[in-house]
Amino acid sequence: MSKIAFDRLSFLVVDDNSHMRRLVRSLLHGFGSRQVYEAEDGAAGLEGVENYSPDILITDWAMPIFDGLELLQMIRNPDSCKNAYIPIIMLTGHSEKERVIQARNYGVTEFLCKPISAKSLYDRIFSIVLNPRPFIKTPKYFGPDRRRVVNANYQGKERRAEDRGETESQDDIDNMFDGAGAGTESQDDIDNMFDEAGAETESQDDIDNMFDEAGAETESQDDIDNMFDGAGAEMETAALEETGKETAA
């Protein structure tokens, strides 16, 4: 398994709950990161993004002043934010389908429902560092490609912005992490990281059961991931077709 050099990554954790910030910080320290900044609301989070230029932003959804979605919207504006390409993990206790889709359409990179576990957080960071998605720019959307899966059997015309040179090169994306992904680690090493993080981990089934027992119409983490896996294809196609029409005009 590929290894992430956490000591080369910096994080900004934005959450109005000090206990949640402490938990996430402890997990990141357990993984090996030593640069973990904190902010207690959306306004301080935006300031932190500008001042610290972290490699990855981890933000709660519900916060005072302005929430995580508003923070996401402000960051994903390359005309006003110098760190518009920063990977963003959205944390929330509300995993209803509408919220997931809304966050995805605002340019979130990963969506993680609470209660979080060491494994679930590690998996999202692993995906960001070692499987980065190119950024898409259309008149109505700017953010990471909402499709995680490429259909190898697709035979039609490619209409994605990548073909018109509107995405970052893979080298540019890789350089953001300054070589953070290198080498290999054993399963024991991964388990030790979780043990050192000092937090109990829940299986995804346990997490899903918590939501089911709560009586809420929530989505499992697998369902959330599937929303990203191809669920954005129609929206990307529609947006890019609109771009093509504007270009032709």
For residue 51, what is the domain's CATH number?
3.40.50.2300
In degrees and rounded to multiples of 5, residue 200 shows phi and psi of -75, 145
Structural domain including 219 reads 2-248
Burial of 46 (0-12, 13-18, 19+ CB in 10 A): buried
Average pLDDT over residues 219-229: 64
**CB-hemisphere CA count at 13 Å for 45?**
33
Kindly state the greatest CA–CA separation across the chain. 59
Task: Look at the block and give the residue holding tokens 């697998």.
Answer: 222
Least confident of 20-24, 65-69, 79-83, 171-175: 171-175
What is the number of domains present in the chain?
1
**Looking at 103-215, which runs of residues are DSSP E strands?**
110-113, 135-138, 141-144, 181-184
pLDDT at residue 17, rounded to an integer: 94
* Mean predicted lDDT score pLDDT of the chain: 76
For the segment 15-70, what is each residue's pLDDT rounded down to a tens digit?
Answer: 999 999 999 999 999 999 999 999 999 999 999 999 999 999 999 999 988 999 99
